[in-house]
Amino acid sequence: MLVPGTASQSLTTILADMTGRSLTVPEYERFADGEQKVAVPGFDESQATIVAATPTDETFIELLQLQDAVREAGASLVTTVIPYLGYARQDEAFSRGEPVSARAVARAVSNATDRVILVTPHEASVAEFFAADTTIVDASERLSIPLPNDLVDPVFLAPDANATSLATETRDAYGRGVVDYFEKTRDYDTGAVTIEPTDTPVDGRDVVLVDDIIATGSTMAEAISALHNRGCKRAFAACVHPLLVKYARSRLAAAGATEVIGTDTIERSESMISAAPVIADVL
Ligand code: R5P
């Protein structure tokens, strides 16, 4: 039986349709002191598959409660699908005294699950933080689907070297184009991003920027501006996780993004394509 978190309701519905599994509807309430509680009164099977992105602290607590609730309701086998894992980018202590937040989160999630499935985490090494058996799937191939068929001499560009494999997956799924990457540096005090242009000519060409996540939009906006300065035709901003915090969407528009494409690992209006098929493959 599939159990949705509040941040993954559309994705879980698609998974239910694709797999033929039943879906339970949790009940949610908040106490006067602000504490939240979710319950699964309709859960009546021995196997639970919880699908819950954790883009906020509230959704993380909700996930822990769902895990506990299905065990209380009799689940003997629990799979936890985390389409978007919050805190994944805090995967090391960047200065003395800092926590490795991704590890702390992973330990908590591991307590009440037999298996974890992650979608395109920031670094694959985050899987090592989970004590439970952990499978990683990548949804970047799905980003090719909303792209127009008439891309002109396309360049699939990663904003930094780490995202090159995602750009390659998207290009391969699209079927044509070259892959390259920018050199990115971020000032961690101000959050400002600097992009060093690639040698690949972009004049008159369509460019698809591919990254794992758009958060503040600094990376993509800077890259799009650099591309327009160099004469690109259209600039598409594609990511698996459209977190899009604060004014990110407006920044991308102001920079000249032709379209912003994301998956439903985070449910936003930019979630044009579902990650469900790559998750269903490993359920
Ligand atoms: C960083 O390495 C990631 O792949 C993303 O490029 C980054 O997290 C995006 O963040 P923002 O949208 O705030 O620039």
DSSP-H helix ranges across 79-146: 101-110
Distance in Å, CA 126 to ligand 1 centroid: 16
pTM of the model: 0.94
How many whole angstroms separate alpha carbon 16 and alpha carbon 232?
41
The CA-atom distances, in angstroms, between 65 and each of 78, 81, 209, 280 are 13, 14, 37, 24
Lining ligand 1 with CB less than 6 A are 89, 159-160, 162-163, 193, 211-219
pLDDT tens, the chain, 283 aa long: 999 999 999 999 999 999 999 999 999 999 999 999 999 999 999 999 999 999 999 999 999 999 999 999 999 999 999 999 999 999 999 899 999 999 999 999 999 999 999 999 999 999 999 999 999 999 999 999 999 999 999 999 999 888 999 999 999 999 999 999 988 777 777 777 777 767 789 999 999 999 999 999 999 999 999 999 999 999 999 999 999 999 999 999 999 999 999 999 999 999 999 999 999 999 9
Mutate to test the pocket of ligand 1, among 190, 216, 219, 268 (most ligand atoms within 8 A of CB): 219
Inter-residue contact 7 to 267 (CB < 8 Å): yes
For ligand 1, atom 10, the nearest C-alpha belongs to 215
Structure tokens at 110: 């591991």
Helix (H) or strand (E) run with residue 237 in it: strand 235-242
Q: What is the pLDDT of residues 127-160, one digit of tens each?
A: 999 999 999 999 999 999 999 999 999 999 999 8
Contacts of 157 (CB under 8 A, 6+ apart): 167, 179, 180, 181, 182, 198, 200, 207, 208, 209, 210, 223, 227
pLDDT digits (tens, 9 = 90+) for 176-214: 999 999 887 777 777 777 777 677 899 999 999 999 999
Residue 207: the pLDDT is: 97
